[in-house]
Amino acid sequence: MSRSGFIGLAGRPNVGKSTLVNALVGSKVAIVSDRPQTTRRAVRGVATAPDGGWQMILTDLPGVQKPRDVLTERMQKRVERELADSDAVLFVLNGEQGIGPGDRFIATMIEAGRPEAPVICAVNKIDRLKRHELIAALAAAGELEVVDEIFPISARRGTGVDELRDRLTELMPEGPLLYPAGEHTDLPSEIHLAELIREQVLRRTREEIPHAVEVQVDSIEPRDDGLIEVRADVWAESLSQKKILVGKGGRMIREIGTAARRELERELAAKVFLDLRVRVREHWRRDESLLDRLGID
């Protein structure tokens, strides 16, 4: 009998949840950035054993935070729903930063909202710690009452990831595979490609821009010349933000487009023509209808 189930990842923004999901799945399903609020949707990564003996559906959740607008309210509610429905919870801590008030708040939220799901704690970024710092980080994690087991890992380097994966698969209930073995994510193609484009925006912008930008893919069409044409809008909240995103003489948007096109070509295994347009929609983070179209529920 095979095993399959859902694992919800909880943690503060920028603790490495997306990198860990990609490492466990063995494929890039979640974008990675050093900016807080990188993950806005519940991104499901599907990890399946080569022999079909188990399958884990890992939900990379937005970092838990105090809601500030409709966007972050939706993100927080999604976190709570996903954790309540999980067969196991993977609580990710940043070993470099130690345990803070944000981690304790998340622990309390998990305790209040979970069913009987076990809570596995991954203390991440151990490759940056000295031995005495690692011991202190693991001891601090052990003081969180909600935690059942602790695994020291480096999601970036893969240290401890195999051991963590083995334990998580043991916790999955018996049942059939929920997704075809070759699938790595349940994100619609338009949203997944939009996230890959947004990742390149995050890597090249600073200040308020990463938080104020969203990407919407309007169409994905094969062309007669063999290229796949992708048309996408980069949404900003003000004309000043648009000016930054376009850059002097269009330099910034060209850099973003060139890097994003390479990512899309890797994902689609085909040559891509990418048409990027920067558009302004004031207060889009409060716009319920636009958030619906962007797939942020």
Q: Are residues 165 and 67 in the same domain?
A: yes
Query: Residue 181: inside a domain, yes or no?
Result: no
Are residues 162 and 194 part of one domain? no
pLDDT at 69: 63
Contact present, 75 and 62 (Cβ < 8 Å): yes
> Could you tell me if 11 and 147 lie in one domain?
yes
Residue 134's contacts (CB-CB under 8 Å, 6 or more residues apart) are: 95, 123, 126, 152
Please report whether residue 227 resides in a domain.
yes
Residues 195 and 265 in one domain: yes
Domains in the chain, number:
2
Answer whether residue 180 is part of any domain.
no
d(CA 100, CA 279) in angstroms, rounded, equals 39
Tokens encoding 91: 């609580």
Q: What is the pLDDT of residues 245-296, one digit of tens each?
A: 999 999 999 999 999 999 999 989 999 999 999 999 887 767 666 666 656 5
CA distance linking residue 121 with residue 136, whole number of Å: 15
Show the tokens assigned to 96: 């470099």
Strands 88-94 and 119-124 turn out to be parallel
Residue 39 maps to which CATH number?
A: 3.40.50.300
DSSP line for 162-179: HHHHHHHHHHSPB---SS
Q: How high is the pLDDT of residue 6?
A: 92
Shared-domain flag, residues 211 and 122: no
The reported pTM is: 0.78
Does residue 22 sit in the same domain as residue 157? yes
To which H or E segment does residue 276 belong? strand 272-280
Identify whether residues 247 and 140 lie together within a single domain: no
- pLDDT tens sequence across 18-53: 899 999 999 888 777 665 555 555 567 899 999 999
Tens digit of pLDDT for each residue in 106-156?
Answer: 898 888 766 679 999 999 999 999 999 999 999 999 999 999 999 999 999
- The predicted-structure confidence for 189-231, as pLDDT tens digits, reads as follows 898 899 899 899 988 887 767 677 889 999 999 999 999 999 9
Query: Domain limits at 85?
Result: 3-171
- Shared-domain flag, residues 10 and 151: yes
Q: List pLDDT tens digits, range 164-200.
A: 999 999 999 999 999 998 889 887 889 889 989 989 9
Gap between the Cα atoms of 49 and 3, Å rounded: 10
Q: Considering the chain, what is the average pLDDT of its residues? A: 86
* Residue 233 vs residue 208, higher pLDDT: 233
Q: Examine the domain organization and report whether 156 and 224 are in the same domain.
A: no
What is the CATH classification number for the domain harbouring 219? 3.30.300.20
For residue 10, what are the contacts with CB-CB under 8 A and spacing of at least 6?
Answer: 61, 64, 79, 83, 89, 90, 91, 92, 106, 109, 110
**CB-side exposure of 63: number of CA atoms within 13 Å?**
21
